[in-house]
Structure 1
């Protein structure tokens, strides 16, 4: 937080929960921003590093954000959702219900993760993702020429693939892969996409 950034919330030292050996503090809005009104109570965070003071990001209801996790931009974590580990939730993403985001996962763009969904590991969920249960996402790590992470998830208009800086449909990804990768790498991506489709769509 820079010196110019006004604090938008405070930690309530008298409203805490002890969870997994950590003390989490309920937050209270100090100013009105986004859809949050000054004085409104939010969810629980461990430190101010978990929720940026800039932007309209908010942790509401009984949601919990802790560890080195970070919520920023205009993202919202609410309901009984949990974000922890080194996970990031940003931009206009929403995580709610009983969803969990953890590990080094990143949820951003206009993604919605809710229900009983879990996003973890090195998964990258963005764009218009709509994930309400575990089976709606698949990822594989240590793939491609850069040993990165391929993530396939349910979107508003079908499956979305992310890999490095690429985001697009399955057909767009396979077309781009054929264009830029050798036959072996492209074949491996095709197999991984088949597994992802089998798990998500069946």
Structure 2
């Protein structure tokens, strides 16, 4: 197997762990040969196959694993035994840790904090564009949703759905999903 990246001599130490900046050895996906990426603790954190990549100042450590076509960027952190795979993206100041799994077309961004098994859901083929709706528990305990160009909390999402779709078929579908999200995350539902 030909390696797609190597660990460079540039390193940072955080919480007693040394992480190394990565550098692409070949072009793949959106990454060009010699592009510099984010930081990993060891090669076992990022698959040498596929198009997965860690960008910018993002960090992957512990036994965490990024694979497939997944992307981790911004100031995002993936650690513990977490797995990010498929076409998933973790960005912004998001944290994915513990035994969390982020996969498929899921997007975790902003200040989202994902851990365990109940803190994230994603629903595909949603709306007029058949996109993916991702819902995560934010650091403040609220919900953070992304769908297409929208990202915000549940109240903002409800308002955007009403303004954009009203009582159309898509509006009804989104409203049903909102009620499911409230039930799934234990948010008080409207009477």
Which band: TM-score by shorter chain?
0.7 to 0.9
Task: State the TM-score, normalizing by the size of structure 1.
Answer: 0.75
Q: Residue 31 and residue 131 in structure 1: after superposition, are their counterparts in 2 closer, same or farther (change >3 A)?
A: closer
Q: Do residues 168 (structure 1) and 152 (structure 2) align?
A: yes
CA distance in 1, matches of 2:182, 2:25: 39
Distance 1:77 1:189, change over 3 A: same
For the structure 1 residues 150 and 25, does the alpha-carbon distance in structure 2 shift closer, same or farther, using more than 3 Å as the test?
A: closer
Cα 1:140/1:104, change in 2 over 3 Å: same
Q: Could you give the per-residue CA deviations for residues 87-143 of structure 1, whole angstroms, max 9, x where no partner exists?
A: 000011000000000010011011000001000000111000011112100111111
Over the aligned positions, Cα root-mean-square deviation in angstroms equals: 3.0
Q: What residue number does 1:58 align with?
A: 39
Unaligned residue ranges in structure 2 (runs of 5+): none
Q: Is contact 2:7–2:22 with CA below 8 Å preserved after alignment?
A: no
Structure 2 match to 1:146: 129
Q: Deviations over 1:38-97 (max 9, x none)?
A: xx6759999666898436x10115742112101101100101001100100001100000
Q: Which moved more, 1:45-54 or 1:60-69?
A: 45-54
Q: Which whole-Å CA distance do the structure 2 matches of 1:43 and 1:132 have between them?
A: 25
Distance, in Å, in 1 between the alignment partners of 2:8 and 2:104 is: 31
- Residue by residue, what CA displacement relative to the aligned partner does 1:164-187 show, whole Å, maximum 9, x if unpaired? 111100000010110011412122
CA contact under 8 A between 2:64 and 2:80: conserved in structure 1? yes
Q: Number of aligned residue pairs: give it.
A: 176
In 2, Cα distance between equivalents of 1:200 and 1:29: 42
CA contact (8 A) 2:6 2:24 kept: no
